[in-house]
Amino acid sequence: MTRATLRDLVAAQRTAYEAAGLTVGGSLAVRLPPSLSCIVAMLAGWRTGAQVILLDYRLTSHEVGQAIARLNPQLVVEPTEKVAGALTGFFQVDVHINPLRGGRPAATDHALLQLSSGSTGPSKVIGRTVASLLAEIDRYGQLEGFPRRGERTVVLASIVHVLGLVGGLLYGLASGTQVVLPTSQTLDGILRAVAAGPEPTTILGVPSQAALLAASQSPSRPPQLRRMITGGELIKPSVRERFTDRYNAGLGVMYGMTETGVIAVDLTGTAAGLTPVPGMRVRIEDEQILLGLPTSPYVGRIDPSRYVDGWLYTKDAGHFDAENGLLTVHGRLDSQVSVGGLKVDLSEVEASIAALPGITDAVVVHGTGIEAYVTVTDQSVTDGLAACLASRLAPYKRPRTVHVLTELPRTATGKPVRNAQTLRTAARATATAGAGAGPA
């Protein structure tokens, strides 16, 4: 796809938006899978001067309905037909532009709105201004080892989430780097995408995709592959060793947030910590990572303690090494976890489960996966639990197991215990007494 052809498609989509009533300062929600249609829909929204709201196509109808009711866009762009394919990297879709009765223009000057962890419960609406996005694109451009003009980036990360959107798509368009979305995110599909062109190639994805590549037994070793860069979770040392040995290529890591984009990096994968990117102010307070931002990134209702006096409290634990000045990130201080590179708020999952008929109480924790511990009015409630969760939560948010307890462990003050080991002990005791657990 040449730039000239892309511009023509964007111009045509902009005309369609304007015919549907979208104007400068309007609002547009895009709910499309990774595709040319998705890219064109986003770019045309910005060309129109509208605020673009990105919704993950994997969200359920229930979650999308909650998001639409909350954000109230004037237009929604969706596929004309339902799409499926968990490992499909690039779809061919036709789109439908749906004007919403009562939809409102943008209430802020943000060019982009994203939901941090879903569309219900405690999820946050995060806004990015044009200046914020341009600044992040510029930060990528200053990173030694990040793809440049004349090179290729195979983007495995979702293009509606910050890593794939800004680090992959928008940076690629701005820098002249060729952006590649593989037809399939299977092992063979990724390797075919890497080998499809002669240019030096970087893969941008998440640790689970690095693990998939590292486990390959295929004799194929594309000489174009220069490096993979991952974000969202920590890389296991065993995965790093297998990947670098297998492909003779680097495996770098990035730390970032939806609120700000990229924060700190180790693109070589060999440093003892992460280096904050140019222009990003980072400090530690009470073992928590704080970021210096000119304005709050949040839109609408927020926790006032998250942004105070120009500093964003990330709720990520970390420290700076006194000798080398490198940042080490230890993980979340609150209930938000990363599953396959996608952020999931456990309290949102918990609230969704607790709202189901027949569930009297629920606690959700994260160990090797998301685990739910519930009490029910009757054991038969569990029979339809998986179907109920499938209609309310995207697949990556659903618990791997749901344990039914006779009662939840509680503290002396009556609060539910959230220690995973304590909950597992209670589940074993319940199972011994005749109840059990099953996959969700």
Pinpoint the residues of the chain covered by CATH 3.30.300.30.
342-439
The single-letter DSSP state of residue 164 is I
First-to-last C-alpha distance (Å) of the chain: 41
Tell which residue, 262, 53, 40, 313, has the closest CA to residue 173: 40
**338 pLDDT tier (thresholds 50, 70, 90):** confident
- As a whole number, the mean pLDDT across the chain is 90
CA gap 51, 47 in Å, rounded: 10
Give the Å distances, CA to CA, from 137 to 9, 131, 149. Answer: 23, 10, 14
Instruction: Output the furthest CA–CA distance in the chain (Å, rounded).
Output: 68
CATH topology of domain 131-334: Rossmann fold (3.40.50)
Average pLDDT (399-413) is: 81
Pinpoint the residues of the chain covered by CATH 3.40.50.980.
3-120
Is beta strand 261-266 parallel, antiparallel or unpaired with respect to 250-257?
antiparallel
CA gap 133, 114 in Å, rounded: 13
CATH topology of domain 3-120: Rossmann fold (3.40.50)
Residue 407: pLDDT over 60: yes
Looking at domain 342-439, what is its CATH homologous superfamily? Answer: ANL, C-terminal domain (3.30.300.30)
pTM here is 0.82
Pinpoint the residues of the chain covered by CATH 3.40.50.12780.
131-334
Nearest 10 degrees: CA dihedral of 73, 79, 81, 84?
Answer: -110
Q: Which residues contact 259 (CB under 8 A, 6 or more apart)?
A: 116, 126, 291, 293, 297, 298, 312
- 96-131 residue pLDDT tens: 999 999 999 999 999 999 987 532 234 689 999 999
